Every structure is written in C-alpha cells, then in structure tokens.
Amino acid sequence: MPPIKRTKFKLTLEQLLEIFYWLKLIRAFDERLSILVRQGKVRSGVYTGIGQEAIIVGTCYGLTKEDFVCPLHRDLGAFLMKGVDARTMMSQMFGKATGLSKGRDSALHSGITELGIFGNTSMLGANLPVAAGLGLTFKMEKKTHVVVAYFGEGASNTGDFHEALNFAGVHRLPILFICENNQYAYSVPLERSMAIEDVADRAEGYGFDGVSINGNDVLAVYQAMQGALARARGGEGPTLIECKTYRWHGHSEHDKAFYRTDEELAMWKSRDPIPIFTTYLKGLQLLSDDQQQDVDRRVTSTIDDALEFAMGAADPDPRDAVTDLYA
Ligand SMILES: Cc1ncc(C[n+]2csc(CCOP(=O)(O)OP(=O)(O)O)c2C)c(N)n1
C-alpha cells in the first residue's frame, strides 16, 4: 500500500510520527520518575499523568513559541513539548542548579516566559485568572497568540475557575480552557463534587462553547483543539474542551489510591491512549515495527541521557537563594 501523505486531520506522516514520539516520551518520562521515587532518588513530589498523555500531546502539538501554556502539576509533558529540553526537565525534578528554577522549587511550579510557560502555583484554579490576564494582553496588543490553560474537574469547582471563564467570555479572549477530567480530585470522585456530568456544560453559563471529548484519543483531542484554536486566533473568543480520561497512578506517587477499584483501573487501562494511536497508525500501515523500535530507542536514550545529566549536575549554591528576586 502506498504511504499516505496526509490524513483528514491535515497531518503529514512525519507529523503523525512526531505525535507518536511525544506520547511515548511523556509516558516514559513519568514512568521513569515513578521508579526513581520508589528508589528514593527524587527530591520533589511527583504527580504523574500516566494515562492522560493524549491530552497534552493533542493540545500542545503545533502551538507556537509565543502561545502560552498554563500547565498543572500533572503536565510535565507540556514543558517538554513547549521546548524545555529533557536534561533541564530532569534537573528540575532533582532540584539541581541546572533545572528551570535552579533548585528553588519543588519541581512543577516553575515556568519560563521565553518558551511561553506560566508556572502554576499550588492553589488549584489560580492559574486560570492569570490565563485570562495573558489572553487580555494578547487581545489588547492585537496579537494572534493564544493561551492554553489546563485544570482538573476538581479545580472547576473553585471560584477562580468561574471568575476566569466569566472574564474570558465577556471579553472574548483567545483562551483554550482544557479540562483534564480524570474522574478524581485527589480521592474525591466526580459524582461527590459535581451535580452535573460534564464540566463542558459550565462554558454555556459564560457565553461560549464547551465540548466534551474522549481525552484518550490523541487525534480527537487534536481535532477539537484545531477548531478552537482557529476561532481563538480569529478573535472569536474562548472554548472549553473537556477531555475525559483517567490517571493510572495515585494523585501523587505517595498516594496508593485505595479509593478506587481494580476493575475500574483495568477498564481505563484498556483505553490506554498509546495502543489506541498505535493501532490507528498500524491499521493504515503508517508505522512499521522498525520505526516503532526506533522511536522506543530514541525515547530511552533521551531519558537515560537526561537522568545521567541531572544526577551529575551541581546542587544549587546557597548564595544564589537571594538572586533573581523580582524586588
Ligand atoms: C485551592 C486548592 N484547594 C485544595 C488543594 C489541595 N489539592 C491538591 S490536588 C487536589 C485535587 C485536584 O483535583 P483536580 O483539580 O481534579 O486535578 P487532578 O489532580 O485530578 O489532575 C486538591 C484538592 C489545592 N492545592 N488548592
């Protein structure tokens, strides 16, 4: 069968393989961190997004450097896809001087404006009004950049969420509100914290569209994102995309997740985003066994290299604790 050059999603074969690479890299990064936590080697708290990779890949793929992302604690992949190299990211997890925040922060609260990454704080939902502010800036400066703001279904119950969506709706701001609905806010299941089934329904109250999609299908996420991106860049305002998914591990690596059943976990593992996308590629004969092995090799060597670099990197110098201060 001749190779397909373009799919109906307007992605070339090379782009589809890149998407495959990102899914695999982000999964492998989190899996390696999980092992390192068990070995007592990581200094930071680790909140893996294993099982949720299709959301980050489908929403970050194709963003420009100037577009901003506001990632969550579980969104290490967004840092990688926005251009933070694996060595810096791994250094960040080890609290090393070569990390993004030079060892001054517990891993996932860092950001880097040059790459369009706003560093989230621990306060859930608090990144959303900031995203609204970024969106307002782009609008006032007549730029076509967008803001991609991530939040959990749990965070959608906070006041900040509602204020941010209201403001974005009133001012038609170029923001993509991406809900990573992984069914649990720490140990609280969705039905114990929300009286509706779909977070997407909340957008209507603020005057813009909300869609609820399969967050484990990277092409479904990509497709929903492309429509919303075009509207945002064209001045038509925000969209809420609710991606239904599941986190395989506990809230963090120290949470054994006793509040859920083995059956539920097994059911969601059968919807693993990576085999779903692999099956798609193989079904269209777009991915040979050799190419698959090549991706696996690249992923492993990237992570091995990053780990070696981070473990050998210098600890922060205590004298630097008072440098880089804003005021
Ligand atoms: C404002 C606020 N309230 C409570 C917490 C404690 N807390 C940390 S994570 C979490 C659950 C988050 O659930 P969700 O927003 O669905 O995101 P997920 O971790 O599932 O991706 C809670 C309650 C917090 N960090 N911030």
* Start-to-end CA span in the chain (Å): 63
SS3 of residue 149 by DSSP: strand
Q: Is the CB of 70 under 6 A from ligand 1?
A: no
pLDDT at residue 324 in the model:
82
Q: Is the CB of 179 under 6 A from ligand 1?
A: no
pLDDT at residue 1 in the model:
46
Report whether 166 contacts 139 (CB < 8 A). no
- For 42, the token pair is 């990581």
pLDDT at residue 10 in the model:
84
State which of 75, 124, 260 you would mutate to test the pocket of ligand 1, scoring each by most atoms of that ligand within 8 A of its C-beta: 124
Q: Is the CB of 160 under 6 A from ligand 1?
A: no
Amino acid in the structure at residue 52: Q
Report whether 93 contacts 46 (CB < 8 A). yes
Q: Is the CB of 259 under 6 A from ligand 1?
A: no
pTM above 0.85, yes or no: yes
CA of 231 to the centre of ligand 1 (A): 30
Closest atom of ligand 1 to CA, residue 180: 21
CA of 169 to the centre of ligand 1 (A): 24
Place of tokens 């749990």: 154
Classify residue 284 by burial, with Cβ atoms within 10 Å: 0-12, 13-18, 19+.
middle
State which of 74, 122, 186, 246 you would mutate to test the pocket of ligand 1, scoring each by most atoms of that ligand within 8 A of its C-beta: 186
pLDDT at residue 6 in the model:
59
Q: How high is the mean pLDDT in each 10-residue block of the chain (327 residues)?
A: 60 95 98 96 91 98 97 96 97 95 84 94 95 98 98 98 98 98 97 97 98 98 97 98 98 95 98 98 95 98 98 94 83
Distance separating alpha carbons of residues 239 and 63, to the nearest angstrom: 16
SS3 of residue 151 by DSSP: strand
